[in-house]
Amino acid sequence: MKILVGEDEPVLCAALAAKLRNANYVVDAVESLETAQAALAVGTYDAVLLDRRLPDGDSVSILGNLRKSQPCAAIILLTALDRVAERIKGLDEGADDYLVKPIDGEELLARVRAALRRRSQGTAPPI
């Protein structure tokens, strides 16, 4: 399984990528929305984990296009924005899940597994 991680905090990005790699996922890690979009344009991912606020934009802004280009990918937003309205917006725009920082590594893995399971079983609701 291949996962794209978009996180602008280098230490957190490396930790997330290492946690996922230790769980036997293939991981591409990027630190901006632009590089995330470039990776998505040339690669196919089973899951995409994006920080909600990257230095060059809000990840919610690309969810519609991401759903069109990679409809089978599980999308999980990672963020410090913990207001309910922010979480609802991310989910309504196409994310499968929304994790608020600080992120527990084991919970992240469980949510990735659950999102992948829903996508592979075709039980994810259409967007």
pTM score over 0.75? yes
**Residue type (1 letter), 33:** L
Q: Per-residue confidence of the chain (127 residues) as pLDDT tens digits? A: 999 999 999 999 999 999 999 999 999 999 999 999 999 999 999 999 999 999 999 999 999 999 999 999 999 999 888 789 988 999 999 999 999 999 999 999 999 999 999 887 764 445 4
Paired sense of beta strands 57-58 and 53-54, if any: antiparallel
